[in-house]
Structure 1
Amino acid sequence: MTNRLRGIADALREDVVSGFLLIAGAVVALVWANSPWGHSYEVIRTISFGPESLHLYLSVEEWAADGLLAVFFFVVGNELKQEFVHGELRNPRRAMLPIVAALCGMVVPAAIYAVINIGQGDALRGWGIPMATDIAFAVAILAVIGRFLPPALRTFLLTLAIVDDLGAIVVIAVFYTDHLSFAPLLGALALLALFGYLQRGRGAAAALDRSPLPNWVVYLPLAAAIWALMHASGVHATIAGVAMGLLMRTVELPGETGDPSHRAEHAIRPWSSSLVLPIFALMSAGVAFTGLDAIFTDTAAVGIIVGLVAGKLIGIFGGAWITTKITSAELNPSLRWVDICGMSLLAGIGFTVSLLITELSFSDHRHMLEDAKAGVLIASLIATVLAAAVLGVRNAQYRRNGSPAKRRTGSPGGGAR
């Protein structure tokens, strides 16, 4: 039984397995929301619970998008930290490329949306909707259709999507949030500093290792407090997961059997794949269609579709290409520009943050809200199909050339980082 459970856990650590589970959750949500039982779907995901005194009286949908998804963001942030210290992103000339591409991939879709909706009144409020890439769905789709693509492409996408999400959160805080609570935000930052010290302070790390209690007894309550304070501040709480992931130490100290980063990833990734992502997809992807005619005559929906599909492609691909021409930034030698083209299309998948900005933009306009949500979904489907076509061809070419993708896990070395 132990070997069987270990085998299941190992399978769940594979991106392709988690990708299929995520896509399955999204398909079930879409079918359910557009079926005769769609009302029950809305009832379930709007059930609210939690301590109201801590600003945590949230709906099931909010717990999935803000709470559970923070676990996935921790895994992603932790993996990026490994890449920055030991992997692809150690080279600043290569790390610069996805960062600049992400910024361009935010500005261009927003500009396209604004041009389409100039003079359309309240529709212009949705300019931030096509800026965001849904990292969970994008990585899942890449895993399913690109098993033989170079690992550097996945790292490019992860970096781009994290920068994209951080930028989108800043946009929400500045342009779409009426009130930002600085006291909880400062508390979250203080606890993040404590989290980082416990990771890097040799005395603290050694004391935790010598303790008879397991490390999670300290880190789990600390992580929960950081998340709760970040949520109470008005900043999207998944940022807490990213921050903690980036603070993880990726090297061993004397006497340790493994570094905290890889140990945490080994323990958490199966839960992220089997529970976090499927539940998130089930509770977030259920958009009910009200009619395509209304969607394609609504300039807000049209702006979202064009922004996410064409804007992301132009912004990311164009921004990356121009950056290599005018700076010292370089593309990984294992990649070709057609790979970046396909990945740019994949970045047009927008769910979590795009839908959040949609709610903030059109909360007083019910019909525009529904059309905009449907626009996000349609754009995501178009982006998925186009990206699958491009990356599917490239995947077949890499497979014929005998270049199977292998996930980089990093190697120990250097100081405590």
Structure 2
Amino acid sequence: MFLYKDFMKVKHCDAFDYWGSGTKVTVSSDKPSPPKVSLLKEPRGTSQVLFCTAEDFLPKDISVKWTKNGQNVENVTAKAWDPKLNGRTYSTISLLEVSNTDWNSGAVYSCEVSHRQNLYIKKVSKGKRFLSFKISIQNANRFSVVTVNLKQPSPKEIFINKQAKLECVVAGQDREIIQKTQIRWEIVGPNQRNSTTEEIKSEGAIHKKTSTLTQSFSDWLTVEKVRCSAEGEHVSPVTEEIIVQKGDGKDPTVTLHILPDEFIVDKVTLICLVSSSVKQDFYIAWSENVGQNNGVYTDGVTFLPQKHDDHYRVTSLYTTTKKKWESKYTFVCNVWPAGRSDKINPTQVSNAGDFSNMTFSCILEAEDDYSSLWSATSFFIFLFIFSLSYNVIFSLHQVKCSDCAFL
């Protein structure tokens, strides 16, 4: 548990010179020092407690403010302490108690620290990562939240070009801040030969800077961890990382499924489930074959490994047209386990019913397993469809409301 009395240990170091009786002069040559701002979270029963700490600042004058989704928080659950002297600098802390209902809603909470005409901002929200900012008070009206996202390697690049291609994307509403943000890579592993490229694109009111790292697949097999860091003059460093889960070398179980008829209108969604006894990453690419002609590899929507009873499962979704499904197309789920130099045999399905020379399974032996599977898969699909709808609605809202906070 985070205890304020432990954090705010006070050490007094006052130097006084005295001339005559009753005359005291304080001599100080300390230079101004900016605050080091941190935002932490601790669950507490039916609520979450947010701790905003500002350390090692000088002079003493400082202010701390909380916001929720860009609006000031005026709440009795917010508490702050006066700055305490710690050596030659000061430290302070402010607490905000948030109900689990508000926290689970995805609201964005901000701690805004003002010190010597500079504004230091930290943000936190369930399931999101944010860059942090130091900006001039005079330019506070230009403030824009920036997000950073490190994407998993593209499966189709692995299957087609035998290379791992990763993207680190920094996005926000202020193009100048995005342009000045620096993206750095760090690879943990014996082989670190790679190349990087950068580009900036604008999608409506949102600007994105993408750094792409490319490695040969043979080098990627030796990688244990990849980090992407984003920082700038007015941006505190934020790091995202991918830990490569290489498993135990055993072949996974792969099954293909299709959504029930009531979900089929003009599109058909196929589901590829990859199960293993240990947590492992799988690079899943889809292809559409016609007769003896193999189609090109393409990426589906693949989720991270999820624990399910006594095993782990990776789910990948692929959507095709109803016309193709009712024709002589064969749809293939291609799986390449992380850390292995060879892919496993493809699993495929066709509405025509020609399943020669392939591995195929769409029937689960136990009805309970199927119910559990369908429940989990439906949840994934709901999240995916909801995220698409939310992004569209939110983008339209941003266009209409340029002053709204970017979440």
Shared fold (TM-score, shorter chain, > 0.5): no
- Say which one has the larger Rg: 2
TM class, shorter-chain normalised?
under 0.3
Return the structure number with greater relative CO, CA threshold 8 A, min gap 6.
1
Which structure has the highest helix share of the two?
A: 1
Task: Please report the TM-score for the alignment, with normalisation by the length of structure 1.
Answer: 0.25
Which structure has the highest strand share of the two?
A: 2
